[in-house]
Chain A
Amino acid sequence: MYYSIIRRLGTQPKLATIPKRKWKSVLGLEVHAQIASVSKLFSGSGTSFGAPLNSSVAYFDASIPGTLPVLNRKCVESGIKTALALGCRVNEVSMFDRKHYFYADLPNGYQITQQRAALANDGIMSFPVITPGKKVYYKSVKLLQLQLEQDSGKSLHDEQLKRSLVDLNRAGLPLMELVFAPDLETGEEAASLVKELMLILRRLQTCSCKMEEGALRVDANISIHQEGEPLGVRTEVKNIGSVRSISQAITYEINRQLETVANGGLITNETRSWDAENRRTVAMRDKEVLQDYRFMPEPNLPPLHVNLKPGSKSTEDLLSVAALSEEIPELPEDTRQRLMEQYNLNADTSIILVNEPVLLDHFLSISRSLSQLPNKVIYNFLINDLLTYCNKLNLDVEDCSIKADDLRDILSCLHSEQINIQAARQLIELQQQNPAAKVSELIEINNLQQICNPEAIEELCRQAIANQAKAAQQYQKGKAKALFAIVGEVAKLSKQKANMKMVVECLENQLKSAKK
């Protein structure tokens, strides 16, 4: 995307001048995904989020002298599965390195990571880019490296007591660091990449992807340059806490850089933090000094060998990549293709369903149990009604308590014309409020049955024509659209319960005969 104009966010000051030349933005992501595991990467302590402070700390995690790292096999398996799902080349031999820096929450004074020979390299990820109001397109980005490493602890600063406290529960948690090539251009592309990555990791069950718990962390390297010129100086934005923040933070940072340059300033290579509250990036003071991490091979861990032979099996000493590849489930893009082929869904619909795993589950389960129902009715209801309802409440579809069975019952009643679409929408709300109730009960209690009795319909229509006499006359004079007003009147009179198909037929008949 070319930035011929500068896009402004609400919180930004107005720009003095707008550069006339074309600027390009370039961004690359580094993602730290916490591997879903029972124990830490190199020690036996637990990994549960929110455990009491310093309660999941093995001697090794606290760097007690003499303790040694022992590699967690499950974490390696997860790393390999993730690498395979992202099209990486898994390396037959990878190695661990020490990365040195002093920080109170890094007890060893170094982090064990994989710098020289990572677990896997050279992957590729294709994903749909969803920009509100624009056409969906696919983007491909190279995954340069996937490496295993340990997390650091957490420092807590008590400003009043002027004390720093350290919680080592996070110290040593297993991470996969995924380094993507700077192949992206916009915040939306970045957000879409992360969204797809989360779908994949959740399918693999290798990461919970709960950004709010820090289980998935995204750092963005951002630079701008003029077309045809070398890449500009980059800044790194950290502390991006949600998928939504990704595109906001990056868009903000691109604009900040453009503005800086427009005002004659220079971009400096610095680390900036995303301030979600004020929606801006701010320079991080303690990251100013350029570090030399003095990398060194980790002497306490032998090189990690894996078996690359096709058809091999894992042994106690050697994991088989081929065996692990058989454990990889259907990936999101495969599901999209399957939805299009098997269910005749169009691309956009299949993208929406796959991107909301709950909707996808609902769709597949309802479509299985209500085979007589057209797929279109199901996904329209899910996307247009359920998703819209959730969005209105600012509710994650995942947090919506309505079960697939209830949705099936609602759709079933809709299909049998027991209720109409308005009642169905109402039922979504009622069901969310009374998760334990049965759909049939809710229909009964709230009197939501569709009015299908011909006599009742005729009576409602007569009444409506009387109330909308003017519209009736216009219709009879040939203004077909006027019928809508009368139909609307019937809906109002029947409290949205009349069978609209019957109403339209009935109105047409009544008005025709009245004309005669």
Chain B
Amino acid sequence: MRRHLQWSIKQLTANYAEGQCSPRRVTEQALEDALKLKTLNAFIRLTPEQALQQAQESEGRYQNKKPFGSLDGVTIAVKDNFCTQDVHTTCASRMLQDFVPPYDATVCSRLKQSGAVLLGKTNMDQFAMGAGTVDSLYGPTKNIWSEDLDQDHWRIAGGSSGGSASAVAAGLCYAAIGSDTGGSTRNPASYCGVVGLKPTYGLVSRHGLIPLVNSMDVPGIFARSVSDCLEVLNAVAGPDRLDSTTIRQPYTKLHLPEVDKIDLSSVRIGIPKEYHCQGLSSEVLETWSKVADLLECAGASVRQVSLPNTAASIFVYSILNQCEVASNMARYDGIEYGHRASDERSTEQLYALSRAEGFNEVVKTRILTGNFLLLRRNYDHYFEKALRVRRLIAEDFAKVFQSSPSDDRVDILLTPTTLTEAPLYKDFASLTNRDQCAVQDFCTQPANMAGIPAVSIPIRLSRTGLPLSLQLMSNSLNEQLLLSVASWIEAQVGFDSLEHKQECRSKA
């Protein structure tokens, strides 16, 4: 076990500043570990040259006592749907297998500006369409908590940002960037036993994030602690003139109070009854009620609330997702970039074959369905209706967060993240992509509908030794309270993200 992996980002950078350890050494070790744990398939591509270069520069800055920011020298991995200048960005697809972006996504450029060392690009479901990181051109990502990584008894990492979650859980980096459209950050965070934050829609720029559903996509953050998550959020959040949907008001960096100074007596926690749904495992349910009790004992008011339109969310999500996918994927025609088939008999032939070869079945199905739903004769019946129900779902949240009389409202919602522990790959792969997402996203995608922030935090291990996590949601832009409560729970449950059996293996 690398001693420094137990440190928080703050401790790590403090040690850099004191010369106790060096960004170059930490980066070298991370690259070594990543190779040792290649079997996880967390990374699509490591970028050792750039990483070592960045680490070298970081080291120089510490020597000159002029570090860039709070992430200087901190190793971070980025999901392969964020554009990185001169580094392949594939979306785990054949279509973009050879795509090298000419620019950095805003998230990446801001990470660089705060001195982060970018290790490489992490695995994902093709174009982020999935909940397991099993539909990647580069093969599935494995969950480091699996009982057995080698046989067909391994567990999925969750998705679609499974590579990022896996990399953080395995201690290959301190934090990772994912994206979250229906739960793609929180779901793998939940399975992999790390913290996964989906910020308020518009708080973090999407410029350079290759879109799945523009109106729901949010860059997500993985880390092994809530405070590390916040360090990364503070570095990347804030308005961006390159993304017109970012919130215009300037971002003020958030600071968490000391855990023992967090006063829960004024915090009202809501338990939405609709999240007690079919398929919820007894262990998750037990975990959920335990944490609710914990909060109540600490003085928080905990009560049941109702979000009546929750069950509709999965259908609305499915329609909006497929429609936007059909539209967003229209650009992949093999003309300007991306996979181009060899058939050049006509422009139409070239398009058809390039797209047939470049996309997998999941992507193709969504494109076909989405285009069907957008036809003039179907638009009102599906898309328009889905938008209306989406508003109802958002109103459900608005009501519980700000309803009057004021004593009726809650500040935080506590729910499961996923319904179960991480499934076995062989069980998960036997389901269709549609069923995989419908089940796994049940508790996570309503937050994307409403644009509100949500965080998944690991609570305890299941009887099979797999992480069980819960989700907290708050009103838009209330990350301060959301993360404060999360860090309070984190301190109480004392979950160790690195306490998996694989640790012995990587040492061996």
Q: Which residue numbers of A lie inside 8 Å of B, CB to CB?
A: 59, 62-71, 98, 100, 102, 104, 107-110, 164, 166, 292, 294-296, 299-302, 317
Contacts and interface: CB of A to CB of B under 8 A. Distances in A.
A68 B248 CA distance: 16
Contact of B333 (A69, A102, A302, A317): A102
B209 A302 contact: no
A430 B319 CA distance: 73
B210 interface: yes
B102 A109 contact: no
Nearest to B324: A299
Contacts of A295: 374, 376, 379
B101 A66 contact: yes
Interface in B76-103: 82-83, 89, 91, 96, 99, 101-103
Interface stretch (B137-145, B229-237, B239-247, B305-313): B239-247
Contacts of A294: 326-327, 371, 374-376, 379
Contact of B211 (A66, A107, A109): A66
Contacts of A110: 327, 330
B342 interface: no
B347 interface: yes
Given A104-B335, A294-B326, A66 B105 contact: yes
Contact of B330 (A59, A64, A100, A301): A100
B114 to A, nearest CB: 20
B317 interface: no
Contact of B102 (A59, A71, A102, A108): A59
Nearest to A301: B244
Given A70-B242, A302-B244, 20 more contacts: A59-B103, A63-B331, A64-B337, A66-B101, A66-B105, A68-B207, A68-B245, A69-B244, A70-B241, A70-B244, A100-B330, A100-B371, A109-B330, A109-B333, A292-B376, A294-B326, A295-B376, A295-B379, A296-B327, A299-B245
Contacts, number: 101
Q: Which 10 A-B pairs have the closest CB atoms?
A: A109-B330, A294-B374, A299-B214, A299-B215, A63-B331, A66-B208, A65-B210, A66-B83, A66-B210, A108-B331
Given A104-B347, A296-B327, A66 B209 contact: yes
B244 A107 contact: no
Nearest to A105: B335
B323 interface: yes
A70 B239 CA distance: 13
B375 A68 contact: no
A299 B244 CA distance: 10
Contacts of B241: 70
Interface of B: 82-83, 89, 91, 96, 99, 101-103, 105, 206-211, 213-215, 241-245, 248, 323-324, 326-327, 329-331, 333, 335-337, 347-348, 351, 371, 374-376, 379, 383
A302 B96 CA distance: 29
A245 B376 CA distance: 35
B214 A98 contact: no
A181 B484 CA distance: 60
11 contacts: A59-B103, A62-B336, A65-B91, A65-B331, A65-B337, A100-B330, A102-B351, A109-B327, A109-B329, A295-B374, A300-B214
Contacts of A164: 347
A110 B331 CA distance: 8
A173 to B, nearest CB: 17
Contacts of B248: 317
B65 to A, nearest CB: 36
Chain B's interface: helix, strand, loop or mixed, by majority? loop
B376 A65 contact: no
A79 to B, nearest CB: 17
Contacts of A65: 83, 89, 91, 96, 99, 101, 210-211, 331, 337
B249 to A, nearest CB: 11
A65 B127 CA distance: 11
A89 to B, nearest CB: 25
B209 A296 contact: no
Contacts of A302: 244-245
B487 to A, nearest CB: 32
A64 B331 CA distance: 9
A415 B69 CA distance: 80
Contacts of B348: 102
A164 B347 CA distance: 9
Contacts of A301: 244-245
A295 B383 CA distance: 10
A107 B324 CA distance: 17
A317 to B, nearest CB: 7
Contacts of B242: 68, 70
Contact of A100 (B215, B327, B347): B327
Nearest to B240: A68
A102 B242 CA distance: 26
Contacts of A100: 327, 330, 371, 374
Contacts of B101: 64-66
Contacts of A59: 102-103
Contact of B374 (A62, A107, A296): A296
Contacts of A109: 327, 329-331, 333
Contacts of B351: 102
A104 B331 CA distance: 10
Contact of B243 (A63, A68, A107, A317): A68
B208 to A, nearest CB: 4
A107 B335 contact: yes
Contacts of B208: 66-67
Given A66-B105, A68-B242, A317-B248, A107 B331 contact: yes
A303 to B, nearest CB: 11
B245 A102 contact: no
Contacts of A64: 83, 101-103, 336-337
Contact of B336 (A69, A70, A98, A107): A107
A512 B124 CA distance: 111
B137 to A, nearest CB: 16
B356 to A, nearest CB: 14
Contacts of A299: 213-215, 245, 324
A68 B379 CA distance: 24
Contacts of B243: 68, 300
B374 A66 contact: no
A483 to B, nearest CB: 77
Given A64-B336, A292-B375, A71 B244 contact: yes
B476 to A, nearest CB: 15
A70 B246 CA distance: 11
Contacts of B89: 65
Nearest to A164: B347
A300 B82 CA distance: 17
A71 B243 CA distance: 10
Contact of A300 (B245, B329, B333): B245
Nearest to A166: B335
A162 B105 CA distance: 38
Contacts of B103: 59, 64
Nearest to B374: A294
Nearest to A102: B351
A108 B330 contact: yes
Nearest to B338: A65
A387 to B, nearest CB: 48
A62 B209 CA distance: 16
Instruction: Indicate the member of A66, A98, A102, A109 with the most B CB atoms within 10 Å.
Output: A66
Nearest to A71: B244
Given A294-B375, A295-B374, A68 B336 contact: no
A68 B331 CA distance: 13
A100 B105 CA distance: 26
A397 B245 CA distance: 49
B385 to A, nearest CB: 14
A2 to B, nearest CB: 37
A100 B376 CA distance: 12
Contacts of A292: 375-376
Instruction: Indicate the member of A62, A67, A102, A294 with the most B CB atoms within 10 Å.
Output: A294
